Structure 1
Amino acid sequence: MTSQTDRMGRTPNSDQIRRAPKVLLHDHLDGGLRPGTVVDLARAPGYTELPDTDPDKLALWFREAADSGSLERYLETFSHTVGVMQTREALVRVAAECAEDLAEDGVVYAEVRYAPEQHLEGGLTLEEVVEAVNEGFREGERIARENGHRIRVGALLTAMRHAARALEIAELANRYRDLGVVGFDIAGAEAGYPPTRHLDAFEYLKRENNHFTIHAGEAFGLPSIWQALQWCGADRLGHGVRIIDDIEVAEDGSVKLGRLASYVRDKRIPLELCPSSNLQTGAASSYAEHPIGLLRRLHFRATVNTDNRLMSHTSMSREFEHLVDAFGYTLDDMQWFSVNAMKSAFIPFDERLAMINDVIKPGYAELKSEWLFQQTASTRGSGALEG
């Protein structure tokens, strides 16, 4: 950790947070649409009426529904986003805009997940869904380059844990491996739908030496984390925030880790933490009380993520702004989280290393030098005025 002097000296402002090279591992494609795009795509024949056709008002509706505490209202938000993503053209557009928006926000590497099985109502095949999304990501990367931004986007194919298509989606992810798809995930309600229902998919992926993450430890707690790791063999934990339940903090500040928490830390298992989303689901009462503060201090492999940018009205920059305000994080802390995430990405080691050494570390070094120059100039200006 940095000293108090260094911490005060390197606290980034909003512009520096936006320009800092960031890495995103947990972002849902159907949770990050632009409100205006939802309105445009909903004009397709046969689509049910939106809650509002004014983009600003619709954005507010998504935010309020997600904040309502009502599972029914929260799920309704996805019925609208998934509902307008049923054609090839819509999927290409949404994926391209996703890459553009992330790049504009300073994200240099992202893994964006979606469930192909949810985009078949317009007659597309699973393969056509994957190819459309991959095309959109490549288009978004191209447009980002033209606008002076650098980003690489990999897709994670998600199977819904309440359905019975996990093996089929895992096989799909393996077929499109090295063609834009970097791994596999399962998502959906944890309670009543343990990951062990899909052991055949995870065993298949392990035989194929492929990567997968599992939504666990968001709502259901420690048992889902244990199952994801010890029964299924997950490489990462989607959320994993409830690992805090296995950590005791005494009144004197001393900390004791339980066996599972120790295992997660010792094995450097990445936690795909999503602070704003976790507040909406009740995993924390405020940013200041979010477990990420303690997990950072204890050197877990913690990463910062957005989950659903539309529903949480967030971005990677907003997530870091909240953490800077809550914990006084510096550019050094932001770099630590970003390097953690890049180390945990599902691309080859040499490519991860190149991103860290050629993009992330130089990016933060430039921002730190910029801050030092500003402070030096400010000090000299103050001295001249005093004189």
Structure 2
Amino acid sequence: MPTPLSPEALRGAPKVLLHDHLDGGLRPQTVIELAEAHGHQGLPTTDPVALGAWFRDNADSGSLVRYLEGFAHTCGVMQDEAALVRVASEAVQDLAADGVVYAEIRYAPELFTERGLSLEQAVEAVQEGFRQGVAASDDRIRVGALLCAMRQNDGWQRVADLVVRYRDAGVVGFDIAGPEAGFPPSRELSTFEYLRQRNAHFTIHAAEAAGVESAWEAVQLAGAERLGHGVRLAEDIDGDRVGPLAAYVRDRRIALEMCPTSNVQTGAVASLAEHPIRRMHELGFRVTLNTDNRLMSGVSMTSEFATAVEHFGFGWGDLRTFTVNAAKAAFLTHDERRALIQDVVEPAYAALEK
């Protein structure tokens, strides 16, 4: 008989996380302590429970602009090497405690340079924090970093250079983040050509705040291997009819890094009831389940699993598929992906489904 889908069982299930922002996942107590230590002003409260609630309430506005306002505080306290090491280490430890066995955590180095850190110093501090977090978690988790360029700024190429330079130090890929509408991948297509020529991986935030045209640019002009969110690709689906772009994404097995709670909070979809994850899963898309911003959204991978079960009727077999999908789409070598699936994911889910 299958293991009941209880909170304890969901927490213990192995999870593969592809879309998690470092500056969106701090512990509230850490924000408070770092703000006090570094003179960051303007926190709405210094009570950790109330602060966590403030971030969640701000995210629940239904506006991506409002959702992003909380980052002024998290990025504001992440401006020196010690703070970056601490935040990165705690992020890894929190994910490991939540059953995550492989995570790709993304961050924009340029957001951590307001007090004089170089891009290189920011990257090296975060990577050191990841190493410490893995060691503190008894190597129960493996972590890769995705470096983001802010799409509204220039300098995508500088970040792409860092991806290539720090590939052997745990940086596994590139992303563009920030306001989607008005800042398409076509702004700097040369960056993506550079990455391809150097055999570097990249994903692109697309079809979240903008529609199908955003996904088209990410896939057909830039050549994205995955789509960050990709939820509005559903606009190219009408019942059982899958439009040409959606069919291309599905048939090429381009993974969708879906984040249901965040997608509702940012207004990408109106409600969980209207979220297309179930339909796209049924149609054979490579759907993956992710957190996006654990602090802002007040979520964990376990809570997103619980949401998937409660609101979409998913069972162990579906959660297993999402996890395998994520492992297949991870920016790892073929042998590493195969080992992750065969040695970690499949045996655990087989035991849960008995």
Mark the runs of 5 or more structure 1 residues left unpaired by the alignment.
1-5, 250-254, 370-387
* Aligned residue number for residue 143 of structure 2: 153
* Aligned residue number for residue 382 of structure 1: none
Distance across 2 between alignment mates of 1:178 and 1:221: 35
The structure-2 alpha-carbon separation of the partners of 1:356 and 1:33, relative to structure 1 and needing over 3 Å to count, comes to: same
Contact 1:11 1:329 in 2 (8 A): no
Q: C-alpha displacement at 1:368, in angstroms? A: 2.8
Contact 1:10 1:332 in 2 (8 A): no
* Aligned residue number for residue 123 of structure 1: 116
Q: C-alpha displacement at 1:282, in angstroms? A: 1.9
Distance across 2 between alignment mates of 1:292 and 1:49: 37
More displaced, 65-74 or 55-64? Answer: 65-74
Contact 2:64 2:209 in 1 (8 A): no
Counterpart of 1:123 in structure 2: which amino acid?
Answer: G
Counterpart of 2:179 in structure 1: which amino acid?
Answer: A
Counterpart of 1:343 in structure 2: which amino acid?
Answer: K
Counterpart of 2:193 in structure 1: which amino acid?
Answer: E
* Aligned residue number for residue 297 of structure 2: 312
Contact 2:38 2:77 in 1 (8 A): no
Contact 1:184 1:211 in 2 (8 A): yes
Distance across 2 between alignment mates of 1:122 and 1:44: 14
* Aligned residue number for residue 205 of structure 1: 195
The structure-2 alpha-carbon separation of the partners of 1:11 and 1:222, relative to structure 1 and needing over 3 Å to count, comes to: farther
* Aligned residue number for residue 67 of structure 2: 74
Q: Name segments (4+ residues, structure 1) moved above 3 Å.
A: 69-73
* Aligned residue number for residue 277 of structure 2: 292
Counterpart of 1:188 in structure 2: which amino acid?
Answer: G
Distance across 2 between alignment mates of 1:69 and 1:294: 23
* Aligned residue number for residue 228 of structure 1: 218
Distance across 2 between alignment mates of 1:92 and 1:103: 17
Q: C-alpha displacement at 1:11, in angstroms? A: 5.1
The structure-2 alpha-carbon separation of the partners of 1:71 and 1:217, relative to structure 1 and needing over 3 Å to count, comes to: closer
Distance across 2 between alignment mates of 1:82 and 1:292: 31
Counterpart of 1:304 in structure 2: which amino acid?
Answer: L
Q: C-alpha displacement at 1:327, in angstroms? A: 2.3
Distance across 2 between alignment mates of 1:242 and 1:287: 14
Give 1:132's match in structure 2, choosing from 102, 125, 131: 125
Q: C-alpha displacement at 1:112, in angstroms? A: 0.4
Distance across 1 between alignment mates of 2:53 and 2:30: 15
Counterpart of 1:135 in structure 2: which amino acid?
Answer: E
Distance across 1 between alignment mates of 2:323 and 2:89: 23
Distance across 2 between alignment mates of 1:57 and 1:152: 32
What is the aligned-residue identity percentage? 59
* Aligned residue number for residue 32 of structure 1: 25
* Aligned residue number for residue 361 of structure 1: 346
Deviation per residue, 1:21-58 (Å, 9 max, x gap): 00000000000000000000001243213111000010
Query: What is the number of equivalent residue pairs in this alignment?
Result: 354
Distance across 2 between alignment mates of 1:99 and 1:186: 22
Q: C-alpha displacement at 1:333, in angstroms? A: 1.1
Give 2:105's match in structure 1, choosing from 97, 112, 124: 112
Is 1:283 aligned with 2:268?
A: yes
* Aligned residue number for residue 92 of structure 2: 99
Q: C-alpha displacement at 1:12, in angstroms? A: 1.5
Contact 1:11 1:324 in 2 (8 A): no
The structure-2 alpha-carbon separation of the partners of 1:187 and 1:157, relative to structure 1 and needing over 3 Å to count, comes to: same
Counterpart of 2:340 in structure 1: which amino acid?
Answer: M
Contact 2:63 2:267 in 1 (8 A): no
Deviation per residue, 1:97-124 (Å, 9 max, x gap): 0000000000000000000011011211
Contact 1:98 1:140 in 2 (8 A): yes
Is 1:194 aligned with 2:184?
A: yes
Give 2:254's match in structure 1, choosing from 266, 269, 284: 269
Counterpart of 1:66 in structure 2: which amino acid?
Answer: A
Write the mapping of 1:161-180 to structure 2, written as runs, cut at 5 A: 161-180=151-170
* Aligned residue number for residue 256 of structure 1: 241
**Secondary structure of 1:44's partner?**
helix
Is 1:15 aligned with 2:8?
A: yes
The structure-2 alpha-carbon separation of the partners of 1:10 and 1:194, relative to structure 1 and needing over 3 Å to count, comes to: same
Distance across 2 between alignment mates of 1:125 and 1:15: 42
